[in-house]
Amino acid sequence: MRASGILFSLAAKSLLNRRLTAGLTVLSVAVSVALLIGVDRVRTEARTSFTNTISGADLIVGARSGPINLLLYSVFRIGDATNNIGWESYQEIRGRPEVAWTIPISLGDSHRGFRVMGTDDGYFEHYRFARERTLEFADGGVFVNVNDAVLGADVAESLGYAVGDGIIVSHGIGDVSFEDHDELPFVVGGILARTGTPVDRTVHVTLAGIEAIHSGWARTPRARETVVAADALAQELKPDAITACIVGLESKLMLFGLQRFINEYAGEPLMAIVPGVTLQQLWELLGAAEAALLVVSILVVAAGLVGMLTTLLTSLAERRREMAVLRSMGAGARLVFGLLLAEAVLLAAVAALSGVVVVHLAMLAARPLVLANFGFYLHAGLPGEFDLVVVAAVTGAAGLLALVPAWRAFRLSLADGLTVRT
Amino acid sequence: MSSPDSPAIRLCRIEFAYGGGAPVVDIAQLEVARGERLFVEGPSGSGKSTLLCLVAGILTPTGGTVDVLGESVSALGAAARDRFRAENIGFVFQMFNLLPYLSLVDNVVLPCHFSRARAEVALQNSASLADEAMRLLERLGLGTNALRGRRVTELSIGQQQRVAVARALIGRPPLVVADEPTSAMDATARIAFVKLLLEECATAGSTVVFVSHDPSLAASFGRSVSMRKINAAPMEGMVDAG
């Protein structure tokens, strides 16, 4: 029939005519949908991003503390180490026959809000992320001098550094530090290509460089930098300790053997973790919180839809006249029923779709902030399967809820006929 | 469908009561010939609106038969009655005839969305439904572009009622029913409106049933009946007054 064709056009025009209430309804449902999708998106993005941040590492070794804590500070630059690994212990692990390569990690300093990590060339050779990708240089190259620094893409971009620029490292972590290690300025020797991991926000320097500034800083108050730098180079500084190290094995079969050796190491209390296993523990720990967040966002969506239901029910009283006019032209009570249903479905569909758009734009905007504060990279990709499911579910739920006002309108229009008894 | 020699309306011993209460309509016999202009006079509460609902097939009588254009409306199912109304009857209400969210032209075209037959007739006159709506509006003195661009809620009552007439007449339905369409107008406007309505219905060849409490309008019509005389049911709220 033609009548069904006119249904959605009437519904749309009627909604447009009430654009203030309809708009507010759309807004509240859209915000709730954005919240729901946002929560899910951040959850899955956090997982992929964390999983992608470190690949190819068999063990991570640090001072004995919690495994999750070790994983967070060593790889994701979240939180701080409680204790260090002695240089001798590191050398012993490194020398084990099962060990193919190691990457030392020395943390604790910062440069204008970005964390500084002391390491060696093994880092650029062995570090893997996003399955099999290696670190690549956008400009410059690996460490040549003690005071060379290699910057992550975000560091270089947001501070406007190029190869050859000098930078000063502060002790401690934070934007403002009163104790600048200005005795030994570092020189930017390389800038890494973007990785989408915390590497982008890290200033990499040599272990010897870190040691040099700390020894200089400890011994002489305010000596001229060149003197101390030369001195440091001459002394061929070895660090006393490092924060953690990443270990690659000759064979996966040796994993548990080496892990036991490290965990039972007699020299000092150490701990070795398998990154994948610890990430799994982290997800389990966060699982309950995630579920709670998801439930809350579903409830918010439900509240939004109930708000829509209220609006539709309230509008019925003032629309009885309209229903009578439609009936007089031969519209069945079923069309009146369908009109209310169509309005609800249109409202919900528009709201859900705008929610999806909003959440993706918001994620695009929040990306740098999230990377800076939580160490993971939000991919604001195209809407995925979950978004479609949410749009369909919200629209469907709206249709179901709208059965109430639709039924009421149906009954009213049957009772009213052509004359509204008020 | 309807046979051409049958009367436009034939009511036979109809009775109607709301929800098992006292009957509000009890009419032994009423017949309206095709092309006739009938004026039905009666105060509010005399069962006029209920009578119109029975004729339009919105309500079905609790007893008796309602034949419209040869079709036994009271015997049809709900969906068939809706379809019959869409095809054959144009309505003009007391007030608030127009959907506020549709344009002038869209309001006039609306019945054609519910009736293929009326759409086809409209398209015999004009190239498009919108053209036909504009032609009708023009005949009713609402042709200026300034009016057409306005929201229907910005029109005066008289203008709104004329739009309602255009809507009732689009596609030339055989029967036009008007329920107190002049009650919100002043006396001069009333006479002019009734004249216009009757002229247009004559052009369209439609039978007219015009219901009003105002007996002064009866003179314009071919025949006039009083609800008090034809309706044997006691008037609402006056059961004891008799």
ipTM of the complex: 0.86
Hey, of A10, A13, A418, A422, which one would you mutate to test binding to chain B, going by the most B CBs within 10 A of its CB? A418
Each residue's pLDDT tens digit, B68-83: 998 898 899 888 998 9
CA distance B54 to chain A (A): 10
Q: How confident is the model at residue B1 (pLDDT cuts 50, 70, 90)?
A: very low
Q: Is A332 at the interface with chain B, CB within 8 A? A: yes
* Alpha-carbon dihedral sign for residues A36, A37, A38, A40: positive
- Touching check for A328 and chain B: CB below 8 Å? yes
**Cα A370 to chain center, whole Å?**
5
In this prediction, residue A216 carries a pLDDT of 58
> Under an 8 A CB cutoff, do A14 and B101 touch?
yes
**Contacting residues of A for B108, CB less than 8 Å apart:** none
State the count of interchain CB pairs (< 8 A) between A and B: 78
pLDDT at residue B104 above 70?
A: yes
SS3 assignment, position B23? strand
SS3 of B109, please? helix
Mean model confidence pLDDT for chain B: 85
Distance CA(A277)–CA(A272), nearest Å, equals: 11
Q: What is the pLDDT of residues B3-62, one digit of tens each?
A: 567 889 999 998 888 877 888 889 988 999 998 999 999 887 788 888 888 898 888 898
Q: Which residues of B touch A419 (CB under 8 A)?
A: 49, 53, 179
- Show which of residues 45-64 on chain B sit within 8 Å of chain A, judged by CB atoms: 49, 52-53, 56, 58-59
Interchain contact B102–A (C-beta under 8 A)? yes
The answer to whether the beta carbons of residues A379 and A45 sit under 8 Å apart is yes
Residue among A351, A264, A375 at smallest CA distance from A303: A351
Q: Which of A6, A13, A418 sits opposite B58 (nearest CB)?
A: A418
Question: Are A417 and B114 in contact (CB < 8 Å)?
Answer: no
Residues 6+ apart with CB under 8 A from A104: A90, A118, A119, A120, A122, A207, A242, A245
> Could you tell me if A343 lies within 8 Å of chain B, comparing CB atoms?
no
| DSSP H helices in chain B | 48-56, 78-88, 104-109, 111-114, 116-125, 129-139, 145-148, 157-169, 187-204, 227-230
Contact A329 B83 (CB under 8 A): no
A325 touches chain B (CB under 8 A): yes
Structure token pair of residue B194: 């009734």
Residue A61 forms contact with B (CB below 8 Å)? no
Cα–Cα dist A139/B96, whole Å: 75
The minimal CB distance from A418 to the residues B53, B101, B115 is found for B53
In sequence order, what are the residues at sequence separation of 6 or more whose Cβ sits closer than 8 angstroms to the Cβ of residue A300? Answer: A32, A35, A36
Using CA atoms, how far residue B153 sits from B38, B95, B98, B121, B200, in Å, is 31, 12, 8, 29, 24
* Of A306, A331, A344, A308, nearest in space to A410 by CA: A331
Q: Do B96 and A321 touch (CB under 8 A)?
A: yes
Residue showing tokens 């023009």 = B138
Three-class HEC string of chain A: CHHHHHHHHHHHHHHHHCHHHHHHHHHHHHHHHHHHHHHHHHHHHHHHHHHHHCECCCEEEEECCCHHHHHHHHHCCCCCCCCCEEHHHHHHHHHCCCEEEEEEEEEEEEECCEEEEEECCHHHHHCEECCCEECCEEEECCCCCCCEEEECHHHHHHHCCCCCCEECCEECCCCCCCCECCCCCEEEEEEECCCCCHHHHEEEEEHHHHHHHHHHHHHCCCCCHHHHHHHHHHHCCCCCEECEEEEEECCHHHHHHHHHHHHCCCCCCEEEECHHHHHHHHHHHHHHHHHHHHHHHHHHHHHHHHHHHHHHHHHHHHHHHHHHHHHHCCCCHHHHHHHHHHHHHHHHHHHHHHHHHHHHHHHHHHHHHHHHHHCCCCCCCCCCHHHHHHHHHHHHHHHHHCHHHHHHHHHHHHHHCCCCCC
CA–CA dist A143, A123 (Å, integer): 11
Is the pLDDT confidence value at B149 over 80?
Answer: no
CA distances from A343 to A13, A306, A391, A402, B112 (A): 10, 14, 16, 9, 22
Q: Are A204 and A150 in contact (CB under 8 A)?
A: yes
Average pLDDT of the residues in B94-98: 79
Residues of B whose CB is below 8 A from A417: 53, 58-59
Interface contact A149, partner B, CB < 8 A: no
The candidate with the shortest Cα–Cα distance to B177, out of B30, B84, B11, B39, is B39
Say what angle helices A225-235 and A207-219 make with each other, to 10 degrees.
120
Closest B-chain CA to A6: B113
Rounded CA-CA distance B154/A359 in Å is 40
B110 interface with A at CB cutoff 8 Å: yes
Average pLDDT of the segment spanning B114-139: 89
Burial class (CB within 10 angstroms; exposed 0-12, middle 13-18, buried 19+) of A90: buried
> Which pLDDT tens digit goes with each residue over B160-182?
888 898 999 999 999 999 888 88
- Cα–Cα distances in Å, from A338 out to A10, A341, A389, A399, A409? 11, 5, 24, 10, 10
Top residue of A7, A14, A319, A328 to mutate, by most chain B CBs within 10 Å, is A328
C-alpha distance from B102 to closest chain A C-alpha (Å): 7
Dig out the tokens for B9 from the structure.
Answer: 């309306």
B114 contacts on A by Cβ (under 8 Å): 2-3, 6, 329-331
- Nearest Cβ partner for B113 among A6, A14, A418: A6
**What CA–CA distances, in Å, run from A89 to A61, A105, A139, B80, B241?**
11, 14, 35, 92, 112
Per residue of chain A (422 residues), what is the pLDDT tens digit? 445 678 888 888 888 888 898 999 999 999 999 999 988 888 888 888 888 888 888 999 999 988 999 999 998 888 888 889 999 999 999 999 999 999 999 998 888 888 999 999 999 999 998 878 899 999 999 998 888 999 999 899 989 999 999 888 776 665 554 555 555 688 999 999 988 888 998 999 998 888 877 765 544 444 444 445 555 554 556 788 899 999 999 998 899 999 999 999 988 999 999 998 999 998 888 888 889 989 999 999 999 999 999 988 888 887 888 888 888 888 888 888 998 899 999 999 999 999 999 988 888 888 878 776 666 667 766 678 888 999 999 999 999 999 999 988 888 877 776 765 54
What per-residue confidence (pLDDT) applies to A420?
58
Beta strands at B207-212 and A128-129: parallel, antiparallel or unpaired? unpaired
Q: Which member of A5, A324, A330 has the closest CB to residue B86?
A: A330
Interface test with B, best of A329, A335, A413, A420 (most B CBs within 10 A): A329
Is there a contact between B87 and A330 if contact means CB atoms under 8 Å apart?
Answer: yes
* CA distances from residue A253 to A55, A99, A100, A279, A280 in whole angstroms, order as listed: 17, 12, 13, 20, 20
Nearest to A169 by CA among A158, A180, A177: A180
pLDDT of B235 above 90 = no
Q: What is the mean pLDDT of residues B184-195?
A: 84
> Is A418 in Cβ contact with B179 (below 8 Å)?
yes
B window 179-238, beta carbon within 8 A of A: 179
pLDDT at B152: 83
Does B78 sit within 8 Å of A327, measured CB to CB?
no
Q: pTM of the entire structure?
A: 0.72
Say how far apart CA B132 and CA B114 lie, in whole Å.
16
Of B83, B91, B101, the CB nearest to A328: B91
